[in-house]
Structure 1
């Protein structure tokens, strides 16, 4: 989460774009985001060892940090690497800049680093940078093709909930007018290239801001009853409703074959309403158990999901943002959790 997350409510008119994919057997359904906005974090080599010790098979990083990429050599950890938002304009306007980026940050580390996706920008649609996302994706795709890697590494972008203008009930999910200009051709690009859309999904914020309408059990995967009935589909948890609203939006613009990767999801352990160690543990453990089942709209198709985040990061703001970590900077767990 490189910028503040957009609040999503199943009852509001804003939701997050995303699409589902069945996860190949060789790829773990659960990864963890490795944010580095802290001045007390372990060295990258120690971090990679911590991933391996906890059997975390996938990692998301937000920029192509050379020290991190070096540490990943030979680890077999599947990697999502981000093109930082500040690089979008240059990569969109200059194919040679995109080629140089791919050569320096991908080709130079292949095949000892297992690149899975390149996330071209994070949470910039809609907004001033949105116009650069698709051209940058296209140029990165061409660079990968020139290197013969177009079938091994997929190009996408990571979006937040503001891309939808209608989100409730999930079957009514549709892009907002502000996002549609950018999202429709991006969906078509993803469909042509067999790539997923990356989506940041945070039931916590929806619950926090709509606590009189949304129950804790619905947000934490602990409800045993259907809470939202939407035609033939029944929803016991907010995560599924959010993801399925995105499916519906994708289907409306010809993206029914585009997959979702949930590129961030998590729950804070301190810093605001309902941000407790117990709730964070409950949410993240239940998320790990749940994603292999799919959603009501895509039952049985595992959702590749990345928990945010590996560490509590002391240089983030506001206070709440410092407390999404599974681990403290001393590599001790904030709470016990199993990735099995």
Structure 2
């Protein structure tokens, strides 16, 4: 069989659901022959990522760290270094990928093995996962840094496991990782000089991703309802569904207002300008008619008004003059007024007798 046929059969075997627990890829090119920024020859890294993370350079020497509190064995020089990373790798994210990239680039010629625990051990020791073990295995199989996948990996590495897979180093960040059996599950390999540390990527973790989902629970429920997933599949009640529908309605109104804010603002400004113009027109109209109303009012009621105000003015003048007169003069005015009233009464009585 040709080499091309062997490679095709090998790839088909690793992709099949019934593939063996130990799966591997075709031997990868040595990193010394590749672009350090992209060992698989896929071009430079995303410039947006480079703003946040420094690129991970390939260690082109065979030197290992000497500033650690534990001893690290020198690597083999006559073959690829078999380096092992283990983990759960649930909801695979860039923190996982950067750890694997560091391991792959830690020495110039690395064969990277990745082991993942199954659901039974993980759920018993750490808690429920989002992805199943088979989903996690398949996701990691597509990582470009990985050369070999080991399924059903042990929670604590044993000497038997190291010998079986000919592991030179175990890679992980060097913070103690406690379990029920030990304060640090990597203490065994550290004691053997087989531990090679990587740097943990801060700001991302599977727990943090799950926290985001829990925090925005209603938003993700609405998202899935809008995509046609039934309330039964989401395990929510009828009342919760109606609450989410109401939230969506309110959110849609807000979005519509935001989208049409500029147009709505222009419409309001236009309406205000029209209202101002109408008010100006009304004001001018009544200012023009004011003179006509005044002239009409004067022509109809001017004589009566003038007569009324003239009488009031004369009465006020008489009162003022009487108040300012001397006592003798006021007595004389009273006498004259009494005489005038007496004469008027006599005349009235005379007229009355005639009638």
- Fold shared per TM-score above 0.5: no
Shorter-chain TM-score tier? under 0.3
Q: Which has the higher contact order (CA 8 A, sep 6+)?
A: 1
**For the pair shown, which has the larger CA radius of gyration, 1 or 2?**
2
TM-score when scaled to structure 2? 0.24
Higher strand share: 1
